[in-house]
Structure formats: C-alpha cells, structure tokens
Amino acid sequence: MIEHRSACHLVRAEARIFGVRPEDRVYQGFSLSFDASIEEVWLAFHAGATLVAATPEMAHAGLELSRCLAESGVTVLSCMPTFLSMLAGDVPTLRLLILGGEACPDQVVERWARPGQRMVNTYRPTEATVIATYADLYRGKPVTIGRAVPGCRVYLLDDSLRPVRPGWPARSSLAASALPVATLGS
C-alpha cells in the first residue's frame, strides 16, 4: 500500500520536474481508478492550474480528441504512447506532453516532438507511487527511462536481483527484464 507521505512526495517532485504553471490547462482523461489520474489531478491542483475533466464528447471523440483538446486550450497532456499515436491531428496548444504506462517507441517521439513543446517519458511502476523515473525526449535521440524523480533512488535489478551495470543498453535481454526498485530518499 502507498503511504500518504509518498503521494505528497510525488506531487512535490512532479511539480519540480514538470513545472506546471497556474495558467496551464491540464487534461484529466484517465479513470480515477488508474494511478496516472493522480498525476493529472494533483499536477493541476498543486500549481493552481485548471483541470480540464473529460466531457462525454471528449471521452467518445476517438481519433478526433486532438481537436477537442485544442478547442479546450489544453496545455498539459499525460497519456500512454499508444493513445497518443492514435490521435488524428496535432494539438497546437500543448506545451507539455507526459508519456508513460508502456514503452515509448521512437516513432512516437519523431511524430510528436516539436519546438515549444516539452515531451517527457516516465517509467511507471505503480508500487513506486505512480512514477519512478523521467527523461526528456528529443527527435533523433534514444528513448530512455531516464533518472530517478527528485528525492528517490532507483536500482535496476536483473532476474536474480543483482544490480544491472550502469549504462547497460535497455534493449539487451538482461536489462529488458530488469526490475526497478525505487526508494524514497531522506
């Protein structure tokens, strides 16, 4: 079970990582039963930003959600890479795009990265209080899980619970099966 102090730490750490501002409009499209909704709701509330809860039209927009997001002036979107890859059009109002919940393919970065919009990959083992790591994404650069969120440490372990060497390629069979363990720092 996640302790309240861990959830509070996440909110403060993500405020530092993502820099959501009072003038932002954060889309809330995840089910409240999914841990990623904590990111959406509390990113907005902590910054004093507007939380744009999905309307029935948005929830059923399918490929046209990008139009709905732009019309609503959404500036911050947290979603899974597969979801993003299914959107029909750009969302010109976005300034922050947070991805997580699954591996982010290079082609998603190539399609969605643009000047004036920050794109961040997060690694989300729920047991580590929503996210444990983050990395900024850029066209032509490898997608990584990045570094530990502020105030935490991350240890990558292999199937035998031995530490994986720093810098080990994520595509290797050993690192692909690595188990991340995040601990709250002091």
- Domain over 4-150 is classified CATH 3.40.50.12780: yes
Q: Say what the pLDDT of residue 19 is.
A: 97
The lowest-confidence range among 1-10, 135-144, 177-186 is 177-186
> What is the DSSP track for the chain?
---HHHHHHHHHHHHHHH---TT-EEEE-S-TTSTHHHHHHHHHHHHTPEEEEPPHHHHT-GGGHHHHHHHTT--EEEE-HHHHHH-SS--TT-SEEEE-SS---HHHHHHH-BTTBEEEEEE--GGGTS-SEEEE--TTS-----EEPTTEEEEEE-TTSPBPPTT--TTSHHHHT-EEEEEE--
Mean pLDDT for all residues in the chain? 86
Residue 186 pLDDT greater than 50, yes or no: no
User: pLDDT tens digits for 138-166?
Assistant: 999 999 889 989 988 887 777 788 888 77
User: pLDDT tens digits for 80-124?
Assistant: 999 999 998 999 999 999 999 899 999 999 999 999 999 999 987
User: pLDDT tens digits for 13-70?
Assistant: 999 999 999 999 999 998 887 777 888 899 999 999 999 999 999 999 988 999 999 9
